[in-house]
Structures are given as structure tokens and as C-alpha cells.
Amino acid sequence: MTGSVVRSLDELPKDSRPSAVTIGKFDGVHRGHQAVIEQLLAEARADDAGLRTVAITFDRHPAALFSPEKAPTPLVSVVQKTEALLALGVDLVVVVPFTSQFAALTPEQFIDEVLVEGLSARRVLVGADFRFGSRGAGDVALLREAGERAGFAVSLVDDVCEQNGERVSSTGIRSLLDAGRLDDANAALGRAHRIRSLVVHGYARGRTLGYPTANLAAAAEGYIPADGVYACWLHVEGERYGAAVSIGNNPTFGDVPEKTVEAHAIDANLDLYDRTVELEFVAYIRPMQKFPGADALAHQMGLDELRIREILGLTTAQS
């Protein structure tokens, strides 16, 4: 990743270097978003001016400002989103704080202050239903009219659809994760879903069962999938370990009041307390279950580990 990030409109370059710009929430940076960035890069390369590629996004969903109770839980944190956009090859990610002041900008102000003065836009890529400015007053027609005056061209980007003809969307991916349909969610994302969090102290019950786990803090970056057991890769400080991950409230013991995420690193004895780890979700193994007791649970955990080893291509403990 060689691009850069700015986190306010005051930090826009405001130089004379022309830009190819796209705008969106980019929640999840899924296959649809990846297609947008691919088109952005292609149009920039095709322009003789050597355009800077810019993705404008927001620090929260607009609903978080206007109707917080209706705001969806994001698929990725702002940091994860910027990392993913930079990894796709854009030169600059602009993370706009979605404040009342920003929401009050008229379409004309947004065009003049952001696209023209801030970024020297030469090309702008948006979806056919793109709306912008106060109360969504601006549309593609207005943007094109302004582009003719200001010297930038407007291109429309097509939706990416799955085999069933449905549009790939962040909302759809959340629904898939909620249903435990990890394979479908990962296919729509174009990569394995990830969450990131700090490891905190838990009940230490896994250790007594022979499967010590790292408990992730509730304030995780990224959308937590449905309750159940998963095959994951555990990433910590540049190293990767196979892991069995449990999500839920541990119904066998019935004394965990809230949803927790626990990761057992396979064949690794790690002290992860107070360290930030990332879980890469590879496969859904089974739903959360209540077992008759600790021995039955430990037996099932052993079976889960064997299956996870097979999925991740890990050798068995005996070999």
C-alpha cells in the first residue's frame, strides 16, 4: 500500500494535479466496490494527464447522523475500509467526517469545494442512483452539467450481480453473515471476512478443557458473524495461525450473559492478552450447541479441531 489518507476536507490536496474520483460509503469494500475501483484505475491510466486516483468515503453511515436507530452495523471499521481501498491501488482515500456541517453542503458547494478546488477532478465515477448535497438534492444530471462547466467528465458504474441476479450489497452481505452463510458472504466480499479486536481476560474455561482461547473485546472492528464455530486464520503481529473460533454465549454453562468471540490457536501456545489480533473467517463449521456437560463439549471441540485442520490444510497433532 503506497497511497495516503486524509481525514478532513481541510486536508484535501488543493493542488493542480488532476484526479479521477469516485464517491461512496464503500462498506465492506466488496466485489461491487472493487469493480468501481478497477474502473477508476483503468480510466486514470487511459488519460494522458496521469490522473491521481481518489476514493471519497465517510467516517460513518449517513443514517448514523440522521436516524441513529436505523444505522446499520458496518461490515468494516473505518481503518479496515481505508486499508482495503489502499490495497486496491488508489492514490488517495478521503475519509469525510459525516457531520451536520458536511450534510448541509449544497450540491454546488460539494462540487466546487471538494471536486474542483480540493481535488482538481478530471473524471468522476458514480452509480446511476448517486445523490449528493443537502437532502440529496444533487443527482447525476446535475453533476454532469457542472462537469461540463468545470472540466470534468462523469462516468456511470454498473452494479455487480451474483449468479441469482441480485446486486452485491453491504446489506445483503450482513444478512448472509447473520445466517451463517459464510461461503456466500465471502464470495460477495471477494475475500475472507475479517474482524479485529483486543484480547481480554475471560473465564479461562477453555484452558481447563484443554483448548485455551483468546477472548476478543466486544468493541471489535468488523461485523461479527452468526453464533457458531468457525475455521479461521488468526493473525497477530505479522504471524498467522490456524484457529478454531467460537461465537456465542456458551450455552453449555449458561453463565455468559452476552455474545463473545473466542479463538483457540491450533498447535500454538500464545500469550495474547492486551494484544490486537485479527480473525480471517474461512469456513462455518456448526451452530452453537448446548452440551450435557464439560466432557461432551470437550469431545465436540476435538472433533471440530480435526475438521478445521482439514479445511485449513494443517497436519494433525499426531503427525
Alpha-carbon distances of 138 from 101, 130, 293, 309, rounded to whole Å: 17, 8, 61, 53
Residue with cell 472540466: 151
Res 210 pLDDT > 60: no
3-state secondary structure at position 193: coil
Give the up-direction half-sphere exposure of residue 62: CA atoms within 13 A in the CB hemisphere: 14
Residue 205: phi, psi to the nearest 5? -75, -35
CA distance 203 to 260: 11
Query: Residue 254: which pLDDT band, with cuts at 50, 70 and 90?
Result: low
User: What is the tens place of the pLDDT at every residue in 60-118?
Assistant: 998 998 999 999 999 999 999 999 999 999 999 999 999 999 999 999 999 999 999 99
Res 241 pLDDT > 60: yes
CA distance 108 to 110: 5
What topology is assigned to 4-157 in CATH? Answer: Rossmann fold (3.40.50)
CA distance 147 to 157: 17
Query: Residue 30: which pLDDT band, with cuts at 50, 70 and 90?
Result: very high
Indicate where the chain has its CATH 2.40.30.30 domain(s): 193-312
Res 209 pLDDT > 60: no
Indicate where the chain has its CATH 3.40.50.620 domain(s): 4-157
What topology is assigned to 193-312 in CATH? Answer: Elongation Factor Tu (Ef-tu); domain 3 (2.40.30)
Q: What is the 3-state secondary structure (H, E, C) of 266-317?
A: CCCCCCCCCCEEEEEEEEEEECCCCCCCHHHHHHHHHHHHHHHHHHHCCCCC
Q: Which three cell numbers stand for residue 275?
A: 494484544
Res 249 pLDDT > 90: no
Report the pLDDT value the prediction gives residue 316, as an integer from 0 to 100: 72
- Closest C-alpha to 142, from 125, 130, 157: 130
Report the pLDDT value the prediction gives residue 318, as an integer from 0 to 100: 46
Lowest model confidence (mean pLDDT) among 87-101, 185-199, 208-222:
208-222
What number is the average pLDDT over the span 207-228? 85
> CB of 188 within 8 A of CB of 30?
yes
In a 10 Å sphere around its CB, with 0-12 CB exposed, 13-18 middle and 19+ buried, how is residue 219 labelled?
exposed
User: What is the tens place of the pLDDT at every residue in 137-168?
Assistant: 999 999 999 999 999 999 999 888 776 778 89
The kind and range of the H/E element at 163 are: none
What is the model's pTM?
A: 0.91
